[in-house]
Amino acid sequence: MNGLSNNIAVSSGRGEEAMTKRTPHGEMIIITINLPETYIDYIRELNDWGNTPSRSEYIRKAVANQIEEDLKTKRYMESVIKAKHGDNNLITLPNEDGNITTYRILREA
């Protein structure tokens, strides 16, 4: 380590500056969010219980989990849209267990 701080200021493109921190997972940009006080109390309670080392880490995990769920839903919906087989009234859908099943469409609602 050269003794220099690993925080740097960057422009967000909107005329404001944000702080970033380099990590093994890439650059993290420091942002400000507004949360209800009850959320902060719950996060503090869970941190005190030993669930995560800090509020920031808890919020990072929560955001990562939500992104993962949203991407899963997005990919599923894209697979449904792409799976419709032309004029032969078939549709292929992934199952919960990861298998793929093709169904014949009898009629559309």
Q: Which of 46, 54, 57 is nearest to 23 (CA)?
A: 57
Q: Would 65 be classed as within a structural domain?
A: no
- Give the count of domains, the chain: 1
Q: Say if 57 falls within a structural domain.
A: no
- Supply 17's token pair: 């500056």
9 lies in some domain: yes
Share of the chain above pLDDT 90, in %: 25
Range of the domain at 26: 1-32
Going by the DSSP 8-state scheme, the letter that residue 24 receives in this structure is T
- Asked whether residue 105 is assigned to any structural domain, the reply reads no
Tokens standing for 56? 């920031």
Is the separation of the CB atoms in 88 and 103 below 8 Å?
no
The pLDDT tens digits for 10-43 are 444 555 555 667 776 678 888 899 999 999 999 9
Does 6 reside within a domain?
A: yes
Report CA-CA distances (Å) from 1 to 4, 8, 10, 23, 98: 8, 16, 22, 14, 45
Contact 16, 25 (CB under 8 A): no
The answer to whether position 40 is within a domain reads no
